[in-house]
Amino acid sequence: MTPQEMLEQMIDKATLDFLQIAKDEEDGDYSDAMQSMERTEASGFVDGLSAAYHIIYDKEYISSVALDEQSSVTVDNLLTLL
C-alpha cells in the first residue's frame, strides 16, 4: 500500500466516523452537547487530512464513503476500513 492510499483510507475512515456521529446526533434530536462537540472534532479531522492530501499530492481527494439507510457502512473503492 502506498502512502497516498494510506492517506486516502484515513480520510475515508474519518469521513465514516463523522457521518456516524452526525447521524447519531440527528437521531438524538441534537440534545447532547457532547455529540455536537464530537461532530465538530470529527469534521475538523476530515478537513485536516483532506488539506494534507491536497498539499502533498496537489489534488483534491473526495471520499466515496457513505452510510446506507440501515446505518451500516458502504464503501466504494475500499477493501477494509475497520
Averaged pLDDT score across all residues of the chain:
85
Spatial separation of the C-alpha atoms in residues 67 and 8, rounded to whole Å: 17
CB under 8 Å, gap of 24 or more: what pairs does 70-78 form? 71/20, 71/23, 73/16, 75/12, 75/16, 78/9, 78/12
pLDDT score, position 28 = 86
pLDDT at residue 77, rounded to an integer: 39
Spell out, as residue ranges, where the chain has pLDDT lower than 70.
69-82
